[in-house]
Every structure is written in structure tokens, then in C-alpha cells.
């Protein structure tokens, strides 16, 4: 009897051990599959200095091609007609209007020249009623002009408009426009939820000016720009060594100061300054040297613009969280990363936004508490092991650092085009103004951009290169460009 009981216990123990061993084998296999996905991702995203220099070379080649002829490159290299950036000498009251989405901003500044700089500034933000985004052109611009008129009416005694002068405005219009002069451009098409057919093909400055006249507001638009050029203007106002601006936010773009005689497609008279600001539209850059994965290719194929904005889809805040989601989905499907069931929410495109990715990536707690909390909040995963959380952080790290490395390669391409990628005897500073929430708030991303640029340029060159955070280019930058291109500028210079 005792022997039989002992045998039964032994048999049960053997079954228990077998089950445990089987479970451990299954776990090991599961982690092996997850690790294989991670290793392949790491391999495909690899961006060593030699490869980044190839990307920079390709960027510089495309820049040359885009300057040579319209349609000659994936980079549009748009002539902005901005031939004068702020010098710091500007004086007076100037306004800015920033229209780029469902809200718009109005801003005014009092400039005090070299000594006073920006003496005072005020702004207001206004929501556009949804029905105006799909209504008539006059209705939209009348609403904007009316809001601007109210803002002008609130101008206090601290703002001093010189007697006999018209108020002047810089207009940041962040929609596709064919620019025809510093203060004119025809709308190519609306984006971001706007759909007003009668405005397409019309000069947006003329539309705004007519609306201002209907309001009885005596104001002249002296500069039509986008946010990247505004960032360049604001950066140059603060630091005379700024030669380029880069937006690293939800989207990405770059603008820089080119010599006008180095633009073959420029057929007009050379500007007095000899310079011309070029809006690169670099989000559309593409090269065989870009490290692409199956996740990037699937994201691109399912996007609204397949084959376009490839560089932007690799480096901008709009897409980084989505790339991470796609990697985690594969791990969940092939390696049961979050348990036997794939979390339904993980199948929802863009549910992991880049700010959430940044929070998880930057979690420094020993148990990665923030990662666990975010996976629960976003995906509904109730509990995760530390091993799972570490794997999620590893995925964020690979995706974010590839993006940062490629952004640095783009900046290197601009420096190469301008001959600033080699040592110079006089140790001249070269400053890049950077704006955008991705760079400003995602610390690991920003640090990686800077360290990568140092690695590809070498110590001697990188000691003269400065990356500087520049805020509110679309606001203050537009007002500064209104001042730099004022109708009274030449009279003041006499």
C-alpha cells in the first residue's frame, strides 16, 4: 500500500516536472521568437557612420538636382523669394497670422532694433468653426480677417505704429502653395480637413487682402511663408550664424540659405543680398541607402500617399509610434508577447502615439513602471513581466535612434552642400535652428541627433557646428520676416 502511494507520488511529481519542463521550453521558444524579431529589426535599422555618410551624399546630390530644374529631384527645393533674413535692426510694430490647421494664431510684436530687440509681444489663438473649413472662400477669409481686426483693435499703448504707416503682416500658410513672389502664392490643394474648391488656384494673399479690405482694416501682407522658413528667420534674429532650420515634430522639413547664383532654375535678377532661402521639402527624400524594414514598407503601402514622403515616414513624430506598434503586433502574433491572445487594441493603427513611445523609452524606474502603465492604458494589457517591458523599451530604442541618425544625416547633407562639412581655418560657427516637439520633448532622440552628427563629421568639424532649439518660428518668425521685407525698408536704409 505504502509502495503504491509512493509510486503514485513519484508519478505525479514526474508529470509535474514534465509539465514544468514543457512550459519552460514553450517559454524559451516564445522568447526566442520575440528575440529573433528584435534582432532582425536591429539589423535592418542599422545606421553606422559609413551608411549615414552615403545618405548625406545622396541628400546633397538631390539638392543639386532640385536646384537645377523643376521636377529634377524628389526634393522640390522651392524658391521662397525670401532674400533677406532679419538683421536685428528692425523697428516698429509688426503682425503675424499663422494658419496651418483647425486653429489659427494672430500675433503682434514691438521691435526695438539692435538695443531693444523684441520689446513686447502678444498673441491670441482662435478655433475655426468646422463648417467654414468646407464652405466658401470668402466666408473663411472673412472670419480670419474679422478675428484679426478684433486683435488689432486691442492694440495697447505699448505698441507704437509710426505715423503715416500701414500695419504690416507676415502670413504663415502651412498648405501646399506655388509661391510667385515674397508676398504672393497660389493654393495647390487644401489638406488637414479643409476642402474649399474655389480657393484652389487662387492667390491666398489676395484672398486675405480682399477680406481685410471688407473689414476696413488697413494692413498689408509683406511676407508669405511656411513654418520652416519662419523658424530660420527667428533663429537668424537670435543668432547671426544660423544658416539652416529643421523641423522635427509631427512632420519634418528643412530650409537653408543658398547663394542665388548657385540656383540654375532661378531666372530672375539676382537679389541685392545675393542670397535666397530654399524650402527643401525634404520629407520626400528617398534613397537606396535608407535602412528600410518590412514594417516601413507596409506602413507606406497602407498610407494615403504610397511611395511619397518616405524620409518623413522614417523620422517624424507622426509615424514613429506607429512603427513601434507594428513591431509589437508581430511579436504578439508570432511570439505571444502579451499572452496567448493578441490585445485587440494593438491592431488599431496609430494607437501608440509618439509621445507615449517617448514616455516608455525614457522610463528610468527599476521595474519600468511607466512602461507597464502605458501598455495597460493604451493597449488594455493588464499585467506584463519586466522582461516584456524591457523588450518594448528595446523596440522604442531601435526605432527612435534610427530616426535620429537619419535626421542627423539629412543635416550633414545640407552642410555638405554648403561646404560646411570640412574644417575651416577661421573656426567659423555654423548654427542649425531646430524646432518641433519631437526634438524638444523626446530627450533620447535629441541627444542621438547631436551625438550622431558629431560621429559623422569628426571632432574638428563638429566643434564648429551648433544645433539650437528655436521655438515659435511660425509666429515670431513670420512677424520678423514682415519687418525684414517691409515696404518701408529701403527708405529706412537711405
Q: Which of 53, 105, 167, 402 is catalytic?
A: 105
Angle between the N-to-C axes of helices 294-302 and 317-335, in degrees from 0 to 180, rounded to the nearest 10: 120
CB contact at 8 A, 219 and 95:
yes
Q: Rounded to an integer, what distance in angstroms lies between the CA atom of residue 312 and that of residue 228?
A: 15
Count Cβ neighbours within 10 Å for each residue of 258-287 and write b for 16 or more, e otherwise. bebeebeebeeeeeeeebbbbbbbbbbbbb
Q: Rounded to an integer, what distance in angstroms lies between the CA atom of residue 17 and that of residue 40?
A: 34
Angle between the N-to-C axes of helices 386-417 and 369-379, in degrees from 0 to 180, rounded to the nearest 10: 90
Q: Which of 83, 203, 227, 472 is catalytic?
A: 227
Q: Rounded to an integer, what distance in angstroms lies between the CA atom of residue 477 and that of residue 85?
A: 10
Q: Rounded to an integer, what distance in angstroms lies between the CA atom of residue 332 and that of residue 395?
A: 13
Q: Rounded to an integer, what distance in angstroms lies between the CA atom of residue 230 and that of residue 273?
A: 19
Q: Which of 137, 147, 174, 287 is catalytic?
A: 174
397 catalytically annotated:
no
CB contact at 8 A, 322 and 349:
yes
364 catalytically annotated:
no
Q: How many other C-beta atoms are found inside a 10 Å radius of the C-beta of residue 313?
A: 21
The stretches of 418-457 forming alpha helices (DSSP H) are 437-441, 443-457
227 catalytically annotated:
yes
Report, as residue numbers or ranges, the catalytic residues: 105, 174, 227
Amino acid at each position: 500500500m505504502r509502495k503504491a502511494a509512493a509510486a503514485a507520488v513519484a508519478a505525479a511529481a514526474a508529470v509535474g516536472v514534465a509539465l514544468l519542463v514543457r512550459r519552460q521550453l514553450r517559454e524559451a521558444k516564445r522568447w526566442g521568437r520575440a528575440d529573433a524579431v528584435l534582432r532582425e529589426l536591429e539589423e535592418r535599422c542599422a545606421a553606422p557612420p559609413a551608411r549615414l555618410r552615403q545618405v548625406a551624399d545622396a541628400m546633397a546630390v538631390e539638392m543639386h538636382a532640385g536646384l537645377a530644374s523643376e521636377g529634377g529631384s524628389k526634393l522640390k527645393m522651392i524658391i521662397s523669394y525670401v532674400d533677406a533674413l532679419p538683421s536685428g535692426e528692425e523697428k516698429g510694430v509688426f503682425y503675424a497670422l499663422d494658419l496651418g490647421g483647425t486653429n489659427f494664431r494672430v500675433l503682434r510684436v514691438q521691435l526695438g532694433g539692435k538695443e531693444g530687440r523684441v520689446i513686447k509681444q502678444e498673441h491670441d489663438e482662435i478655433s475655426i468653426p468646422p463648417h467654414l473649413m468646407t464652405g466658401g472662400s470668402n466666408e473663411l477669409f472673412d472670419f480670419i480677417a474679422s478675428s484679426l481686426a478684433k486683435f488689432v483693435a486691442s492694440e495697447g499703448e505699448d505698441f507704437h505704429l509710426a505715423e503715416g504707416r500701414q500695419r504690416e503682416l507676415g502670413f504663415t500658410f502651412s498648405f501646399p502653395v506655388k509661391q510667385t513672389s515674397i508676398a504672393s502664392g497660389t493654393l495647390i490643394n487644401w489638406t488637414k480637413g479643409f476642402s474649399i474648391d474655389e480657393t484652389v488656384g487662387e492667390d491666398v494673399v489676395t484672398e486675405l487682402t480682399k477680406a481685410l479690405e471688407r473689414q476696413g482694416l488697413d494692413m498689408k501682407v509683406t511676407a508669405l511663408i511656411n513654418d520652416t522658413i519662419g523658424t530660420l528667420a527667428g533663429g537668424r534674429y537670435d543668432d547671426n550664424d544660423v544658416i539652416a532650420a529643421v523641423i522635427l515634430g509631427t512632420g519634418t522639413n528643412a530650409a537653408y540659405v543658398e547663394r542665388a547664383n548657385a540656383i540654375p532654375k532661378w531666372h530672375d535678377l539676382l537679389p541685392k543680398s545675393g542670397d535666397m532661402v530654399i524650402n527643401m521639402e525634404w520629407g520626400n527624400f528617398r534613397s537606396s541607402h535608407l535602412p528600410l524594414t518590412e514594417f516601413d514598407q507596409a506602413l507606406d503601402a497602407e498610407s494615403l500617399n504610397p511611395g511619397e514622403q518616405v524620409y518623413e515616414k522614417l523620422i517624424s513624430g507622426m509615424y514613429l509610434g506607429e512603427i513601434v506598434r507594428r513591431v509589437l503586433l508581430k511579436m504578439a502574433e508570432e511570439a505571444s508577447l502579451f499572452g496567448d491572445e493578441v490585445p485587440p487594441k494593438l491592431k488599431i493603427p496609430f494607437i501608440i502615439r509618439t509621445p507615449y513611445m517617448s514616455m516608455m523609452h525614457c522610463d528610468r524606474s527599476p521595474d519600468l513602471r511607466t512602461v507597464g502603465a502605458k501598455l495597460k492604458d493604451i493597449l488594455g494589457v493588464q499585467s506584463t513581466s519586466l522582461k516584456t517591458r524591457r523588450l518594448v523599451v528595446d523596440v522604442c530604442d531601435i526605432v527612435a535612434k534610427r530616426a535620429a541618425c537619419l535626421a542627423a544625416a539629412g543635416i550633414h547633407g545640407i552642410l555638405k552642400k554648403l561646404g560646411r562639412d570640412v574644417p575651416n581655418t577661421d573656426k567659423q560657427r555654423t548654427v542649425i535652428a531646430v524646432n518641433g516637439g519631437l526634438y524638444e520633448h523626446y530627450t533620447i532622440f535629441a541627444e542621438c541627433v547631436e551625438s550622431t552628427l558629431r560621429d559623422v563629421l569628426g571632432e574638428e568639424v563638429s566643434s564648429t557646428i551648433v544645433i539650437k532649439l528655436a521655438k515659435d518660428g511660425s509666429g515670431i518668425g513670420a512677424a520678423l520676416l514682415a519687418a525684414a521685407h517691409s515696404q518701408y525698408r529701403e527708405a529706412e536704409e537711405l
